[in-house]
């Protein structure tokens, strides 16, 4: 019964030993009161699952922002051992800007790394970033990987093999490396399928996607899970990108600065009137004007209550020569054409569009947060996100949603759970459709703001890093489920708490 959008627990939360010292009623274990079927209702007391992580930090930003952060931030998992699979001889250790120096992040993680496989830490689950084992040669020379695999076969612990590359590599790793005759004995291979303690997860589940730059049409491809990597622990699970914690922290810092500036300009009466809103759903008009009625710094309003709107629309992608960015280039050209054009509903107002990047790009942008980028996101009404020509999903989708903007996205077959076209995000079919929808949603403020509000609630309530790791391990999110307002207002102000 397990499937891409069905609960499929690797560990049952009800199976964890109960402890009087740990209670799921804590602040980080909050779940919406209406979710009476949530597993936590059946497991009021628990202990965290002991997890080990083997990864290639920081080469893959996903290793930090999803796996490492997700395990460490969850109140249902405890990171008891960490192994950095990058050696000091690896080119990733060298800081490209200062070749004579090693990467400081790698140096720090190297000293924290413990790649000795033993049972002193009582690891129950090993999460492994498979991107580092691209060949049998790399696997065979890595004693840590070998021992994890063979001891896992003998059921000393469960193994979760996770891939966040742009290919179906988890399929290759499991089927062509781990189960190869040169690695694992045939008699052992026959027994592996009977052992329910190995599971695979991947981000990439789309095949056949391609963009025709002549006709300006995108072939969206087909949904295809790598069934060859299915195990007795369940079928391969979809692991889409999440809202990055460092991006959330940047958003809150910028939002706090914006509110501080607005507070200086706003009168005390307006400030007090805004604080009097006891329910965001009933007092939407008050929240729309957070720019004039800011809260005190101890309780930040959700980003969708716009503090400042400098841009009407933004697509953070400059036109560049890229083998996989032709569609993005055409989308950027479409957005650029709108800049300075009069709005249809108000010809005396011109559209303000942004297509340049804000903050660092490339690998640096994937591994670090930028205040400039957070400020640009918070200052934009509509954020356009576009996948690469050959694959779907990228950080921009969740980053735009978390910033409270309405997100216009190219069509996605692998849309993360809970998001819905027309309700929390809006799809565009091609560049002509994009042009029309930008104009439409600039003319319909309330409709746009309602979509932005729901998009923020879904992304922050279901797609944080800890939600993703809990979903892969326990079958569903467990920490702060559907209570995103708690993130912005930890003091419990009733104006930003879902009842």
Assigned token pair, 73: 């931030």
pLDDT at 462: 93
Q: What is the mean pLDDT of the chain?
A: 76
Per residue in 166-218, pLDDT (tens digit) is: 766 676 666 666 666 555 666 555 556 566 778 888 888 888 899 988 888 89
Q: pLDDT at position 175, please?
A: 65
User: Rounded to an integer, what distance in angstroms lies between the CA atom of residue 390 and that of residue 166?
Assistant: 9
The pLDDT tens digits of the residues spanning 13-61 come to: 766 765 544 444 444 566 666 666 666 666 556 678 999 988 765 545 7
Give the side-chain half-sphere CA count within 13 A for 476.
16
What's the whole-number mean pLDDT along residues 213-242?
Answer: 82
Q: How deeply is 362 buried, as exposed, middle or buried, from its count of CB atoms within 10 A (0-12, 13-18, 19+)?
A: exposed
Angle in degrees, CA 97, 102, 104, rounded to 5: 90
Q: What is the pLDDT of residues 430-489, one digit of tens each?
A: 999 999 999 999 999 999 999 999 999 999 999 999 999 999 998 888 888 888 877 776
3-class secondary-structure state, position 201: strand
State the DSSP string of 102-162.
B-HHHHHHHHH------STT--SEEEEEGGG--SHHHHHT-HHHHHHHHHHHTTSSEEEEE
Q: Which residues of 16-44 are buried (b: 16+ CB within 10 A; e: fewer)?
A: beeeeebebeeeebbbeeeeeebbbeebe
Residue linked to tokens 């996605």: 412
Distance in angstroms (rounded) separating the CA atoms of residues 76 and 23:
10
- Asked whether the CA dihedral 41, 43, 45, 50 is positive or negative, the reply is negative
Which among 371, 173, 137 is positioned nearest to 258, based on CA atoms? 371
Take residue 449 and report the two structure tokens written for it. Answer: 């703001």
Residue 276: is its pLDDT beyond 70?
A: no
CA distances 202 to 6, 19, 72, 179, 215, Å, are 16, 33, 20, 18, 31
Return phi, psi of residue 278, to 5°: -95, -10
DSSP assignment, residue 42?
G
CA pair distance 443, 426, nearest whole angstrom: 15
In the prediction, which pLDDT does 191 show? Answer: 59
Average pLDDT of the residues in 88-92: 53
Local structure of residue 321 (DSSP, 8 states): -
Residues 462 and 460: their CA atoms lie apart, in Å, by 6
Residue pair 110/36 in contact by the 8 Å Cβ criterion: no
461 phi/psi in degrees, rounded to 5: -95, -15
DSSP label of 14: G
**Residue 4 backbone zone (phi > 0: left; psi -120 to 50: alpha; other: beta):** alpha
Q: What's the pLDDT score for residue 292? A: 39
Could you tell me which residues are beta bridge partners of residue 23?
45
Give pLDDT tens digits for 242-270: 999 999 999 988 888 887 776 666 544 44
Instruction: Please say whether the dihedral angle defined by the alpha carbons of residues 474, 478, 479 and 485, taken in this order, is positive or negative.
Output: positive
User: What span, in angstroms and rounded, lies between the C-alpha atoms of 177 and 137?
Assistant: 9
What's the confidence (pLDDT) of residue 380? Answer: 95
Q: Which of 84, 31, 99, 20 is nearest to 53 (CA)?
A: 84
- The residue among 16, 142, 158, 143 whose CA lies nearest residue 77 is 16
- Tell me the two tokens of residue 123: 């690891």
Torsion of CA 40, 121, 154, 466, to 10 degrees: 40
Q: What is the pLDDT of residues 111-161, one digit of tens each?
A: 666 777 666 668 889 898 876 555 556 666 566 777 777 676 666 788 888
**pLDDT tens, position by position, 334-361:** 999 999 999 999 999 999 999 998 888 7
- pTM of model > 0.75: yes
Supply the pLDDT for residue 90: 55
């Amino acid at each position: 019964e397990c499937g891409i959008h069905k609960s499929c627990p690797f560990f049952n939360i009800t199976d964890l030993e109960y402890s009087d010292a740990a209670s799921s009623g804590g602040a980080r274990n909050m779940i919406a009161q209406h979710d009476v079927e949530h597993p936590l209702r059946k497991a009021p007391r628990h202990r965290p699952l002991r997890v080990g992580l083997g990864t290639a930090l920081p080469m893959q930003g996903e290793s930090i922002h999803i796996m490492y952060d997700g395990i460490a931030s969850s109140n249902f998992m405890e990171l008891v051992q960490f192994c950095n699979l990058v050696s000091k001889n690896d080119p990733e250790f060298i800081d490209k800007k200062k070749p004579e120096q090693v990467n400081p992040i790698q140096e720090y993680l190297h000293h924290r790394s413990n790649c000795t496989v033993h049972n002193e830490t009582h690891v129950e689950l090993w999460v492994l970033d498979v991107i580092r084992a691209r060949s049998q040669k790399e696997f065979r020379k890595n004693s840590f990987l070998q021992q994890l695999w063979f001891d896992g076969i003998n059921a000393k612990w469960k193994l979760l093999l996770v891939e966040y590359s742009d290919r179906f590599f988890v399929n290759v790793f499991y089927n062509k490396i781990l189960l190869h005759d040169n690695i694992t004995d045939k008699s052992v291979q026959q027994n592996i399928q009977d052992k329910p303690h190995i599971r695979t997860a991947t981000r990439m589940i789309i095949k056949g996607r391609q963009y025709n730059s002549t006709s300006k049409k995108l072939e969206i491809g087909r949904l295809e899970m790598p069934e060859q990597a299915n195990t007795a622990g369940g079928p391969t699970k979809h692991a889409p990108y999440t809202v990055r914690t460092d991006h959330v922290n940047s958003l809150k810092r910028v939002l706090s600065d914006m509110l501080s500036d607005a507070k200086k300009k706003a009168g005390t009466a307006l400030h007090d009137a805004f604080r009097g809103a006891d329910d965001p759903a009933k007092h939407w008009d008050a929240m729309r004007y957070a720019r004039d009625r800011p809260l005190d710094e101890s309780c930040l309003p959700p980003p969708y209550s716009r503090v400042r709107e400098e841009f009407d629309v933004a697509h953070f992608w400059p036109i560049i020569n890229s083998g996989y960015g032709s569609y993005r280039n055409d989308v950027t050209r479409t957005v650029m054409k709108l800049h300075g054009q009069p709005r249809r509903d108000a010809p005396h107002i011109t559209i303000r569009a942004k297509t340049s990047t804000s903050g660092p790009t490339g690998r640096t942008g994937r591994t670090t947060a930028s205040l400039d980028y957070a400020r640009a996101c918070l200052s934009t009404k509509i954020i356009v996100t576009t996948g690469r020509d050959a694959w779907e999903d990228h950080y921009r989708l969740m980053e735009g949603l978390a910033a409270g903007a309405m997100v216009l996205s190219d069509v996605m077959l692998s849309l993360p759970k809970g998001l819905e076209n027309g309700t929390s995000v809006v799809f565009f079919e091609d560049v002509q459709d994009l042009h029309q929808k930008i104009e439409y949603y600039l003319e319909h403020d309330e409709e746009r703001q309602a979509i932005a509000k729901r998009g923020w609630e879904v992304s922050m309530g279901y797609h944080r890093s800890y939600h993703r790791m809990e979903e892969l391990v326990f079958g569903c999110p467990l920490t702060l489920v559907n209570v995103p307002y708690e993130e912005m207002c930890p003091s419990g102000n009733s104006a930003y708490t879902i009842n």
